[in-house]
């Protein structure tokens, strides 16, 4: 963000005329999957969703990451997919939850937004299991 926006309010930043919103997710895994930190999650991945604190996100670069085994003794966090859309609308986001108490308010992306993101894939890891999972979950 340029310095001209340093003193902008939250409301002004929601529709800020410059820049790109970037969100990152590891996705959601199936119930009962007992994965430990650092374990690859792709076989247990059941959905991909990006979240926002407001529903006015119109342009998004959405990243997906996982712990990848590249032959080392440690699975490193790696970006496995990058997806982009500049066509998101308010209805591509679910209702905001967590609006009471000390919770952080958040809105999850609906299937219409996920489809737009999938159609705008930018970069994908060259691994068959990831490619087929992304195609299935993001409908491209």
Nearest to 47 by CA among 111, 104, 126: 111
Confidence of residue 98 (pLDDT cuts 50, 70, 90): confident
Asked if residue 7 has pLDDT above 90, the reply is no
pLDDT in tens, 12-39: 776 667 778 899 999 999 999 989 889 9
Maximum Cα interatomic distance, the chain, rounded to a whole number of Å: 48
More confident residue, 20 or 137: 137
Task: Tell me the torsion sign for CA atoms 24, 81, 128, 117.
Answer: positive
For a pLDDT cut of 70, what percent of the chain falls above it? 95
Task: Give CA–CA dist 52/138, Å, rounded.
Answer: 18
Model confidence, pTM? 0.87
Phi-psi region of 47 (alpha: psi -120 to 50; beta: other; left: phi over 0): beta
């Amino acid at each position: 963000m340029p310095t001209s926006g340093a003193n902008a309010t939250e409301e002004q930043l929601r529709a800020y005329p410059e820049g790109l919103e970037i969100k990152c997710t590891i996705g959601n895994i199936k119930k009962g999957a007992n994965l430990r930190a650092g374990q690859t999650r792709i076989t247990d991945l059941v959905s991909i969703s990006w979240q926002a604190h407001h529903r006015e996100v119109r342009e998004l670069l959405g990243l997906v990451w996982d712990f990848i085994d590249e032959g080392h003794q440690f699975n490193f966090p790696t970006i496995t997919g990058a997806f982009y859309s500049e066509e998101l609308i308010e209805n591509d986001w679910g209702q905001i939850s967590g609006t009471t108490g000390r919770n952080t308010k958040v809105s999850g992306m609906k299937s219409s937004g996920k489809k737009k993101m999938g159609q705008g894939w930018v970069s994908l890891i060259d691994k068959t299991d990831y490619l087929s999972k992304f195609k299935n979950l993001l409908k491209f």
